[in-house]
Amino acid sequence: MDLQLRAGATGHVTAGAVSLGGRTVILVSADSPERRGALAPADSETIVTALETALAKRLPVVLMLSSSGADAHHGLAALHGWGRAAQVLVRCSGVVPILAGVTGPAISGIALLIGLADIVVMATDAYAFVSGPVPVREMTGVAIGPDELGGASIHASASGAASAVTEPGEVLDALTEILAYLPAHCDELPPRLATADPRDRLTPEAGDLLPTVPTGAYDVRDVISALVDDGAMVELRAGWAPNLVTGLASLDGYSVGIVANQPMSIAGTLDIAASQKGARFVNFCDAFGLPLVTLVDTPGFYPGKDLEWRGMIRHGAQLAFAYARATVPRVAVVLRKSYGGAYIVMDSKTMGNDVYLAWPSAELAVMGASQAAQILRRGADADEVATYVSDYEDTYLNPYTAAERGYIDSVIDPAETRSALVNTLGMLSTKRERLRPRRHDNSPL
């Protein structure tokens, strides 16, 4: 390490300032092979010291974790130490980026530290859980192994705790790649990445990806690849809530956060997991000054009794809340469908969006033509319904009516989307918002 801050009395945790990809970060390595990786109070003190240094010096935090949690030999003192580490980590949140790499077991208190991190990369052979297989079996009677309970694949697809999964030995490289898009702290502008991709490059292939059938699916990641610099995006939480794509990319070298509906997964509808995923990512980008580019193609929220009972209202509000309070430059492009409540929460003008663009293929409405006919022409004969559907599509399912009413700022040629985004973000680069003083908001968690 370039500068070692402190080593715990047990020697199980080391911390110091190091260079990753040319960036100075505070690296904390918790890896204890003794006592199955249990960490003593002195180890948590090392973590606390490192986090306080990162906060004071405004440096990103990188945690490399492999531990079975608090050492039971030290009793409550060990738990107290982990509590202190969590408290300081919360103080770092939103001030400096917090990246965590899981290279082995992460159990109990150390698993909660993962939950507090902004970005988590897990090795394929790592696992994490708050309560392990033994208490699960004793309290529920279910016999389960560590990988099935909290393996990397589980956290990448079911829990959403892992932002990415890599092969063992590649975790730090993945964190370094992500770090390249981020500033050192919240008061610093994101770094500019090197690129030879022309800012005014035409993107006709982006529009060509849309199917001729309105209900046809396509991979929105191909659209993103056509628009961003060198076709490169670091996708985060790709396996969790795949109906919404989130990732980091650059436009004309400037870092941006990408949020996009994915028609290949449940038609791009929004459900609970997608709302949580999007809200968390929007908050992250807003905290560290990354402009948001939102690509919209969704027929609405996914319907169902189960979703409603599990709190679709609360979780859908999370995404609306995140966009509404975001102060970074925000540009949205409607590629195809934008219906109902999903239109609102996907960074519409109503939510304070800065520039709202649309392709000629965009459809903005309360609902689709067939749905509207079922409600407004109930009981009518087939010919009358067909006429109504045709009139509805001609009148409402195009972007020009919305543009006339001020809900869309401009209808653009898909081939000019990249240059429109670059120029718009350049115009918004001096955006500043003065927030009204208050203790804090009350996000619908």
Cβ contacts of 212 within 8 Å, gap of 6 or more: none
Span 331-359, average pLDDT: 94
What was the pLDDT predicted at 423?
97
Which pLDDT belongs to residue 35?
41
Question: Quick one: pLDDT at residue 266?
Answer: 96
Structure letter (DSSP) for residue 433: -
Q: Average pLDDT, stretch 130-155?
A: 92
CATH 3.90.226.10 residue ranges for the chain: 3-179, 204-362+398-430
Q: Is the pLDDT of residue 441 over 90?
A: no
Q: Which residues pair with 64 in a beta bridge?
A: 29, 101
Is the pLDDT at 149 greater than 90, yes or no? yes
Distances (CA, A) of 334 to 51, 338, 383, 417, 433: 41, 7, 32, 11, 25
> Using CA atoms, how far apart are residues 223 and 242, in angstroms rounded to an integer?
16
Which pLDDT value is given to residue 8? 46
pLDDT of residue 207 exceeding 70: yes
pLDDT digits (tens, 9 = 90+) for 229-265: 999 999 999 999 999 999 999 999 999 999 999 999 9
- Rounded to whole angstroms, how far apart are CA atoms 362 and 334? 6
pLDDT of residue 82: 79
* Consecutive H or E run containing 65: strand 61-67
Q: Supply the pLDDT for residue 110.
A: 83
- Residue of 122, 132, 177 whose CA lies nearest to 154: 122
CATH superfamily membership of 204-362+398-430: 2-enoyl-CoA Hydratase; Chain A, domain 1 (3.90.226.10)
Any idea which residue has 């100075």 for tokens? 24
CA dihedral 207, 210, 214, 218 (to 10 degrees): -150
Q: Has residue 174 got a pLDDT over 60?
A: yes
Residue 11 confidence (pLDDT): 59
Q: Mean per-residue pLDDT for 410-430?
A: 96
Q: What is the CA radius of gyration of the chain?
A: 24
Distance between CA atoms of residues 230 and 103, nearest Å: 31
Q: Tell me if 86 sits within 8 A of 51, measured CB to CB.
A: no
pTM, two decimals, is 0.93
For residue 369, what are the CA distances in angstroms to 10, 301, 375, 377, 407? 68, 17, 10, 11, 20
pLDDT of the residue at 97: 97
Section 346-367 average pLDDT: 92
Bridge-based pairing state of the strands 355-358 and 330-339: parallel
In the predicted model, is pLDDT for residue 138 greater than 70? yes
The mean pLDDT value for 122-143 works out to 92
Q: Rounded to whole angstroms, how far apart are CA atoms 223 and 293?
A: 13
Summarize the confidence of residues 158-167 as an average pLDDT: 97
Give the whole-angstrom CA distance, residue 410 versus residue 311: 35
pLDDT in tens, 114-131: 999 999 999 999 999 998
Does the pLDDT value for residue 369 go beyond 90? no
Helix (H) or strand (E) holding 317: helix 312-325
The CATH number assigned to the domain with range 3-179 reads: 3.90.226.10
d(CA 445, CA 318): 7
Instruction: Compute the average pLDDT of residues 132-160.
Output: 93
Residue 240 near residue 225 (C-beta atoms within 8 A)? no
- Alpha carbons 145 and 162: distance in angstroms, whole number: 19
Whether the per-residue pLDDT at 73 is higher than 90: the answer is no
CA-based nearest residue to 323, from 361, 368, 362, 354: 354
Whether pLDDT at 389 is above 90: no
Q: Give the residue among 290, 428, 262 at the shortest CA–CA distance from 356.
A: 428
What is the per-residue pLDDT for 70? 59
> Would the pLDDT of 290 be above 90?
yes
Q: Which residues contact 56 (CB under 8 A, 6 or more apart)?
A: none
In the 8-state DSSP scheme, what is residue 192? B
Overall size of the chain counted in residues: 445
CA distances (Å), 49 to each of 15, 100, 407, in order?
9, 17, 50
Over residues 55-64, mean pLDDT: 96
Contact 282, 257 (CB under 8 A): yes
Q: Is 404 left (phi over 0), alpha (psi -120 to 50) or beta?
A: alpha
3-state SS string for 369-416? HHHHHHHHCCCCCHHHHHHHHHHHHHHHCCHHHHHHCCCCCEECCHHH
Beta strand 38-39 pairing with 69-70: parallel
Average the pLDDT over 54-65 and give the result: 96
Q: What are phi and psi of 17, to 5 degrees?
A: -90, 130
405 exposure class (CB count in 10 Å sphere: 0-12, 13-18, 19+): exposed
Q: What would the pLDDT profile of 75-89 be if each residue is shown by its tens digit?
A: 566 667 778 888 999
| Alpha-carbon gap, residue 101 to 171, rounded angstroms | 6
Residue 418: pLDDT band with limits 50, 70, 90: very high
Report how far residue 58's alpha carbon sits from residue 288's, in angstroms, rounded to the nearest whole number. 12
In the predicted structure, residue 434 carries a pLDDT above the cut 90:
no
Q: How confident is the model at residue 9 (pLDDT cuts 50, 70, 90)?
A: very low
Across the chain, what does the average pLDDT equal?
89
Angstrom distance (rounded) from CA 283 to CA 333: 20
